[in-house]
Structure 1
Amino acid sequence: MSCFSCFSSKNTDNEGSSIPAPSSPDNLRERRTREVAARNGRPSDNTKIFTFRELATATSNFRQENLIGEGGFGRVYKGKLDKGQIVAVKQLDKNGLQGEKEFVVEVLMLSCLHHSNLVNLIGYCAAGDQRILVYEYMPLGSLEDHLFDIEPNQKPLDWNTRIKIALGAAKGLEHLHDKADPPVIYRDLKPSNILLNREFVAKLSDFGLAKLGPVGDTTGETLNVSSRVMGTYGYCAPEYQRTGYLTVKSDVYSFGVVLLELITGRRVIDTMRPSHEQNLITWAQPIFRDPSRFPQLADSLLRGEFPEKSLNQAVAVAAMCLQEEPTVRPLMSDVVTALSFLGPYSSTGPNHL
């Protein structure tokens, strides 16, 4: 059944509005995004169209005290709906990086693609010039908040939690690549887009840059031409940066970057470090070639408290994901299988999380 019934106006309040029609009906990306919605079934009945007044009330008129995040896309506020549900309300900046097309893509994607490792879209508001997304509230914030610039009184992530987060993110990507029809290329995997619930279960968020792969592509080797390179510097696959050619293996590379950040506690680009260490991938490449040096990659905040075998295997997975040639990178299903046996979850098998 088609998803599109959820995008007709269901709101009798004059402030409410259904999702706007694409500004250009011939835009291939928007048309193909609507394809994935149609192919992947009807969205949750709970996806709601909010009025601006409802969301202003939920956030106390978008007060500064409720601000929990800010970026080029706009601001995110903690809110409370009239039934008491705590939510995250993302108000897109009218002049920000995330525009009308990205808003449409995100609503369509998250309304129709459901998985325990994808953030749940509760609803949206498209009233007038307002573009607002309402998500489930993730109380622990993003992975970035727990991995970098740790406060003196903040407990660093232990090894098992890092593997749990990596596995959750990998399962989210696996669902997009293997279960969605056509596959979805996430295109913007980075720590700030990996959100955490109270149990440190990872959920992918921010689907504004997501792109559809070729129908029936289960190998990740079919090229999908992108008109322009999008994403975040340091996380984009080298072939995508060079040519604009995009496949699911581009996401695999980005995952390798994030996994290496989890292992090392280092940002992929850090200009505060010595020149030869500023690019994490360049610094790690020689170490990848010598397994005896793998422990050198471990975050010093771990204080050596990790199983060396688990560390070595995690580094090996990261190295495979970061291969220069996309065709030799593993599929996300293979990555999930490998990571499933690195933490305390291995005794219950890959489906424990």
Structure 2
Amino acid sequence: MRNREWMQDLTIPMDYCDNYGVCGPYGSCSTATLPNCECLTGFEPKNPGELNQYSGGCRRVKALDCGLEEGFLKFSSMKLPDTENALFHSSMSLWECELACKGNCSCTAYANPNITTNGVGCLLWFGDLIDIREYPLNGQDLYVRLAASELLGFVASKRLNKKNRVLIVVISTSSAAALLFAVVYACKKKKKMPHMKVKETWYGLDKKNTSVQVEDVKELPFFSLHEILKATDDFSISNKIGEGGFGPVYKGILEDGREVAVKRLSETSQQGLDEFKNEVMYVAKLQHRNLVKLYGYCIRGNEMILIYEYMANKSLDTFLFDESKTSMLDWPCRFQIIHGMARAILYLHQDSRLQIIHRDLKAGNILLDADMSPKISDFGLARKFVGSDTFTKTKKVVGTYGYISPEYAVHGKFSIKSDVFSFGVLVLEIVSGKKNRGFSHQDHSDNLLGHAWRLYKENKSIELMSACLRDSFILSEVLRSIHVGLLCVQHHPEDRPTMLSVILMLISEGVLPEPKQPAFFTGESHREAPSVLSVDEYMITQVYAR
């Protein structure tokens, strides 16, 4: 034919049930019964009382409400429904398939279509189920979604359809809560299945095993645990590249050849679902050259896994505080890192569609790519805020010793100026190659901030610079960086500059304002100024030493 279309010339059904959709939506056809059509368990005829009551198909006895107690009835020995409104995922197990369907309110049924792969392969239906029939000898299992009240009613009255060998599969509240983000496979296949609509709200388990709502994760791909295990060689110790407060990090290679860093929540971690939610919801929406890119996530049972772009040079602290590697960071490289961090923090505070306070800026969370360009990572403790300088108070102080601002450590108050303080600490560490926490000097007991302040007051700031920079440093840039760092770590947040001012000061040659005494300064000549204010008796502090 010219139009290259098929024309139906003659059809010869083998039996009545071979006619397409003869029993309508949710109707099942069988040649062993009269009438040949009947409704699936949990459904009733749309046109009861009519001579052919199944001509319009069937409807639910109880409507779905997307509640956590909804579950599935297993129908055995069935021909699977028409797949026009179905999605196939080749690497999902039957368990993952169940989680995926449970997590999407539009999903009406699921099945494993490939009976030869020992449970691997997943079909999910969205909308009415059409063209179902019984195949007693070589049929397949079909799991159909029903309302919680309907399932409970079947249990109570024992009204099970024995002919279809129906088995109730109910996900309880606690196990259903473990379905965090289970259906973002749709995001992963979105381009191939444009008719798919993904629900934007999912549920997961918090540390108390209760349900927690997670919103708007449609932009981030979901990876199956099978894919992650294959990429990391079953979390081989040889692929482990680090460990943080969330858990161990492994290098992996995806099937498409991309190198990734796989961060896996450990059983002993102080973090959990809240931090996992932050990473997934925030990082997916943040796009900046100096922010690490999150490729996707995986969750199954107690496993919570995040998949990032791989950073060839790991984190800043692996170079900065290692005597054998610190010389690899010359001054141009360090100045580039300072600039990159500043631009990324400005983006978080002002230019992103979400205004974010990171709350855990530190050398270990600054990753370095193959070109030594910095990328801020780990948004598990991040918080959204409204306004340019709004303070928020919390009773749970989280973060890392040495980088936390005084108003946050003492009173639980944080703002964008908390991040500015942490940035200032980082600048002084980058210039000196020394950690703020644990810094020691033979002539005094100051920490790094106090030592930098002392040298500044004595007009000896250049002595703060690491000795390995003597052959590469630019004096004006080093002194300006130290000066800006001291402005950022001033005790009172209102005295600290914004990140926009920081960037302008770093690239300009104008006169800088005089810094005031830094927080946590312990110099003997300043004993009258308390290093830390008294702790609010109503505040519970929990600082992560990472």
User: Could you tell me the TM-score, scaled by structure 2's length?
Assistant: 0.54
1:198-236 CA deviation, whole Å, 9 max, x = no partner?
A: 1111110010000122x2x12x2x211122111001100
- Check conservation: 2:362, 2:422, Cα contact below 8 A: yes
Q: Which residue of 1 aligns with 2:307?
A: 134
In the other structure, the counterpart of 1:122 is 295
Alpha carbons 1:163, 1:339 under 8 Å: kept: no
Distance 2:272 2:298 in 1: 14
Identify the residue that residue 270 of structure 1 maps to in structure 2.
438
Q: From the superposition, tell whether residues 311 and 155 of structure 1 become closer, same or farther in structure 2 (CA, over 3 Å).
A: closer
* Equivalent AA in structure 2 for residue 298 of structure 1: M
2:506 maps to 1:339: yes
The residue that corresponds to 1:4 in the other structure is none
- Tell me, yes or no, if structure 1 residue 326 matches structure 2 residue 407: no
1:284 correspondence with 2:466: no
The aligned counterpart of 2:360 is 188
Q: Which has the larger radius of gyration?
A: 2
CA displacement 1:123-149 (0-9 Å, x = unmatched)? 000111110000000001110011112
Closer/same/farther in 2, CA of residues 278 and 328 from structure 1, 3 Å limit: closer
**Are residue 163 (structure 1) and residue 163 (structure 2) matched?**
no
Contact 1:15-1:53 within 8 A present in 2 as well: no
Deviation of residue 118 (structure 1)? 0.7
Check 1:162–1:341 CA distance in 2 against 1; reply closer, same or farther (3 A cut): farther
Match of residue 21 from structure 1 = 203
3-state DSSP of counterpart to 2:241: strand
Which of 211, 220, 223 in structure 1 is aligned with 2:383? 211
Q: Which moved more, 1:313-322 or 1:10-19?
A: 10-19
Structure holding more strand per residue: 2
Alpha-carbon distance in structure 1 between the residues aligned to 2:441 and 2:244:
24
Please say if 1:316 is aligned against 2:397.
no
Give per-residue Cα distances to partners, 1:23-60, cap 9 Å, x unaligned. 57xxxxx88x95xx69xxx73xxx31011110000001
Shift, 1:274, TM fit:
4.0
1:93 correspondence with 2:291: no
Aligned mate of 2:466, from 299, 305, 315:
299
| CA–CA separation in structure 2 for the residues paired with 1:85 and 1:118 | 18
Offset at 1:86?
0.6
Deviation digits for residues 222-255 of structure 1 (CA, Å, limit 9, x no counterpart): 2111221110011000111111011000000000
Q: Does 1:56 align with 2:229?
A: yes
Q: Distance in 2 between matches of 1:323 and 1:64?
A: 43
- Contact preservation (8 Å) 1:227, 1:244: yes
Matching residue of 2:373: 201
How far did residue 304 of structure 1 move?
A: 5.2
Q: Which has the higher contact order (CA 8 A, sep 6+)?
A: 1
CA displacement 1:63-110 (0-9 Å, x = unmatched): 111110013321101100001111000111133122111001111011
Amino acid in structure 2 at the alignment position of 1:174 = L
Query: Does the residue aligned with 2:308 lie in a helix, a strand or coil?
Result: strand
| Shift in CA distance, 230/314, structure 1 to aligned 2, threshold 3 Å | same
Residue identity in the other structure for 2:96: E
| Stretches of structure 2 lacking an aligned partner (at least 5 in a row) | 1-86, 101-179, 182-201, 207-211, 510-546
Q: String of CA shifts for 1:139-171, please: whole Å, max 9, x gaps.
A: 0111001111222x7743111100101111111
For 1:245-272, what per-residue CA distance to the aligned partner results, in whole angstroms no more than 9, with x for missing partners?
1100000000000000001110011266
Question: Residues 63 and 293 from structure 1, CA distance in 2 versus in 1: closer, same or farther, beyond 3 angstroms?
Answer: same
For residue 8 of structure 2, what is the aligned residue in structure 1? none
Checking the alignment, whether the CA contact within 8 Å between 2:245 and 2:269 is kept in structure 1 is yes
Residues 154 and 287 of structure 1: is their aligned pair in 2 closer, same or farther, counting only changes over 3 Å?
closer
SS of structure 2 residue aligned to 1:233? coil
| Distance in 1, Cα, partners of 2:441 & 2:310 | 34
Please give the secondary structure, in 2, of the residue aligned with 1:122. Answer: strand
Cross-structure match for 1:259: 427
Contact 2:248 2:266 (C-alpha < 8 Å) held by counterparts? yes
Query: Shift in Å at residue 172 of structure 1?
Result: 1.1
- 1-side partners of 2:418 and 2:204: how far apart? 27
Q: Which runs of 4+ in 1 moved over 6 A?
A: none
Instruction: Give identity over the alignment, percent.
Output: 37
Q: Which amino acid aligns with 1:326?
A: P
After superposition, give the CA deviation of every residue in 1:278-317 in whole Å (9 maximum; x if it has no partner). Answer: 6211222222334x31111111111253121111111111
Q: Which residue of 1 aligns with 2:418?
A: 250
TM-aligned CA distance change 1:278 to 1:266, over 3 Å: farther
Q: 2:407 is matched with which residue: 215, 236, 239?
A: 239
Match of 1:74 among 216, 237, 247: 247
Structure 1 unaligned blocks of 5 or more: 1-9, 25-29, 343-353
**AA of the residue aligned to 1:255:** F
Residue-by-residue CA offset, 1:318-341 (whole Å, 9 max, x unaligned)? 011011110111111111223345
Residue 3 of structure 1 is matched in structure 2 by: none
